[in-house]
Amino acid sequence: MMTKRILQGIFWIGVYLLITLTPLLILLAGPRPAGREFWRDLSIGLGYSGFAMVGLQFVLTARFKAIKAPYGSDIVYFFHRQISLVTFALILAHPLILFIFDPDLLRLLNLATAPWAARFGVISLILLAALIIFSVWRKKLRIEYDRWRIWHGIMAIGAVALAITHIELRGYYLNTLWKQLFWGFYGIFWIGILTWVRVVKPIILLRNAYLVEEVVPERGNAWTVALRPENNKPFYFQPGQFAWITAWDSPFQDHEHPFSFSGSAEKSTQLFFTIKELGDFTASIKNLSKTQRVYVDGPYGSFSIDRHPHSERFAFIAGGIGITPIMSMLRTLADRGDSRHLTLIYANKTLEAATFLEEIEELPQKLNLKVVHVLKSPPEGWRGEKGFVTAEILERHLLVEHIPDRIEIFICGPDPMMDAVEKALIQLGIPMGDFHSERFNLV
In a domain, 443, yes or no: no
Last residue of a domain, which of 156, 174, 205? 205
Residues 174 and 227 in one domain: no
**For residue 119, what is the domain's CATH number?**
1.20.120
User: Rounded distance, CA 297 to CA 242, Å?
Assistant: 9
pLDDT band at 362 (very low <50, low <70, confident <90, very high): very high
pLDDT band at 239 (very low <50, low <70, confident <90, very high): very high
Residues 108 and 187 in one domain: yes
- The lowest-confidence range among 44-48, 102-106, 176-180 is 176-180
User: Rounded distance, CA 222 to CA 79, Å?
Assistant: 31
- pLDDT tens digit sequence for 311-356: 889 999 999 999 999 999 999 999 999 999 999 999 999 999 999 9
- The lowest-confidence range among 64-68, 249-253, 317-321, 367-371 is 64-68
In a domain, 412, yes or no: yes
Comparison of pLDDT for 134 and 73, the residue scoring more: 134
Last residue of a domain, which of 258, 276, 300? 300
Residues 199 and 258 in one domain: no
In a domain, 35, yes or no: yes
Residues 198 and 228 in one domain: no
In a domain, 321, yes or no: yes
Residues 253-280: what's their mean pLDDT?
89
pLDDT at res. 412 = 94
- pLDDT tens digit sequence for 135-145: 888 888 888 87
Please say whether the beta carbons of 303 and 243 come within 8 A: no
* Alpha helices (H) in 256-339, listed in sequence order: 280-283, 323-336
Residue 175, pLDDT above cutoff 70: no
Residues 27 and 172 in one domain: yes
In a domain, 378, yes or no: yes
Q: CB within 8 A of 207, min separation 6: which ones?
A: 231
* Continuous segment of H or E residues that includes residue 312: none
Residues 200 and 223 in one domain: no
What integer best gives the mean pLDDT of the chain?
87
Residues 201 and 215 in one domain: no
- The lowest-confidence range among 97-111, 154-168, 415-429 is 154-168
Residues 259 and 345 in one domain: no
Residue 274, pLDDT above cutoff 90: yes
Last residue of a domain, which of 300, 331, 365? 300
Most confident of 168-172, 211-215, 428-432: 211-215
User: Rounded distance, CA 438 to CA 350, Å?
Assistant: 23
Residues 20 and 165 in one domain: yes
Residues 272-294: what's their mean pLDDT?
89
In a domain, 332, yes or no: yes
- pTM of the shown model: 0.83
Domain hosting 148: range is 2-205
pLDDT at res. 443 = 52
* Continuous segment of H or E residues that includes residue 358: helix 357-362
**For residue 388, what is the domain's CATH number?**
3.40.50.80
Residues 215 and 342 in one domain: no
**For residue 233, what is the domain's CATH number?**
2.40.30.10
Residues 289-303: what's their mean pLDDT?
91
In a domain, 123, yes or no: yes
- pLDDT tens digit sequence for 5-55: 778 778 888 888 888 887 777 766 656 666 667 788 788 888 888 888 888
Cα end-to-end distance, the chain, whole Å: 29
User: Rounded distance, CA 319 to CA 24, Å?
Assistant: 47
Residue type, position 104, single letter: D
Residues 293 and 375 in one domain: no
Residues 127 and 220 in one domain: no
Please say whether the beta carbons of 123 and 162 come within 8 A: yes
**What is the sign, positive or negative, of the torsion defined by CA atoms of 150, 151, 152, 157?**
positive
Comparison of pLDDT for 279 and 341, the residue scoring more: 341
pLDDT at res. 440 = 65
Domains of the chain: total = 3
In a domain, 90, yes or no: yes
